[in-house]
């Protein structure tokens, strides 16, 4: 039986951990070569090592997706070292402005949010996805063989999320960005879709799990009665990247245990 992504080359941002890492490994299991891009190079190298252990080509690169020059260099290196670019999974993102720092998350009502916090989240979660999508689209158009763009949004793109309003707004922006790209890129055989996960057990959500009573309240909202795992999102990305997902564009799929439907 042939593998679902055999001979395909994929670029995955945010590939050092969580959803990005799970997607890199799931794609590699199905035959894809991977460029793992992340702000944290050592962790990205670890993901690439795991991909190579599965018999695929892999390379790691440090990138800040909100910096145009770094993204352009990333895409150029991907096409050069892997021999082309067929699939993008834009998974790089942050949950709040203090993500990765010690202490409590920068949560609170928008009326009390500093503009610097707002700008930081939008810069990574929306500007970074736009810049990455744009550079990848240019490369795919130039290559003339179509492609798949998959943006990691969130269930928060559709559900108001008090306390992290800037995150919800950024992900709603990713969802609209995806739909516009789907229309504009269709003539080139390039599809653009989004994934809107629910609560997934990743390093990004680890600090929230420690909040008093948070997990109990969360699970009560999930019809399937559990939080998601990164592989749940990776499998959704695999579907969109594979032949089975070829007629999807401008869609957002929700691996969320049923939260968004309520």
Q: What is the mean pLDDT of residues 58-82?
A: 98
Looking at every residue in the chain, the average pLDDT score rounds to 93
Total of domains in the chain:
1
Q: In what order do the strands lie in the sheet with 58-62?
A: 58-62, 33-38, 9-13, 87-90, 147-152, 190-195, 252-253
- pTM score: 0.94
Q: What is the pLDDT of residues 112-143, one digit of tens each?
A: 999 999 999 999 999 999 999 999 999 999 99
Q: Is residue 139 part of a domain?
A: yes
pLDDT bracket for residue 208 (50, 70, 90): low
pLDDT bracket for residue 43 (50, 70, 90): very high
Q: Is residue 186 part of a domain?
A: yes
188 classed as catalytic: no
Q: Is residue 262 part of a domain?
A: no
Q: Is residue 27 part of a domain?
A: yes
CATH number for the domain that contains residue 148: 3.40.50.720
Cβ atoms of 192 and 170 closer than 8 Å: no
Q: Whole domain around residue 101: which residue ranges?
A: 9-253
pLDDT bracket for residue 250 (50, 70, 90): very high
Q: Is residue 261 part of a domain?
A: no
The tokens of 143 are what?
């290559």
The tokens of 248 are what?
């999807």
Q: What is the pLDDT of residues 74-125, one digit of tens each?
A: 999 999 999 999 999 999 999 877 766 655 556 789 999 999 999 999 999 9
Buried/exposed 101-135: b ≥16 CB within 10 Å, e otherwise: eeeebbbeeeeebeeebbebbbbbbbbbbbbbbbb
From 99, 167, 247, 248, the catalytic residue: 167
């Amino acid at each position: 039986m042939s593998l679902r992504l055999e001979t395909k080359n994929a670029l995955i941002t945010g590939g050092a951990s969580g959803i990005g890492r799970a997607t890199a490994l799931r794609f590699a299991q199905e035959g894809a070569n991977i460029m793992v891009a992340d702000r944290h190079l050592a962790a990205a190298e670890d993901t690439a090592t795991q991909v190579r252990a599965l018999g695929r080509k892999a390379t790691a690169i440090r990138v800040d997706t909100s910096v145009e020059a770094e993204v352009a260099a990333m895409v150029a290196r991907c096409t050069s070292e892997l021999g082309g670019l067929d699939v993008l999974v834009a998974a790089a993102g942050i949950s709040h402005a203090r993500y990765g720092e010690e202490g409590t998350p920068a949560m609170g009502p928008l009326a009390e949010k500093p503009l610097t916090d707002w700008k930081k989240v939008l810069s990574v979660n929306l500007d970074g996805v736009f810049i990455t999508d744009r550079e990848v689209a240019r490369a795919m158009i130039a290559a003339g063989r179509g492609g798949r763009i998959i943006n990691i949004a969130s269930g928060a793109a559709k559900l108001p999320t008090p306390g992290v309003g800037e995150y919800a707004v950024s992900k709603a922006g990713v969802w609209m960005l995806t739909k516009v790209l789907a229309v504009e890129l269709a003539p080139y055989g390039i599809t653009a879709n989004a994934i809107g996960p629910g609560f997934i057990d990743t390093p990004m959500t680890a600090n929230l799990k420690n909040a008093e009573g948070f997990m109990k309240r969360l699970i009560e909202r999930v019809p399937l009665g559990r939080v998601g795992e990164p592989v749940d999102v990776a499998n959704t990305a695999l579907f969109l990247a594979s032949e089975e997902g070829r007629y999807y564009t401008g869609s957002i799929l929700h691996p969320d245990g049923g939260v968004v439907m309520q």
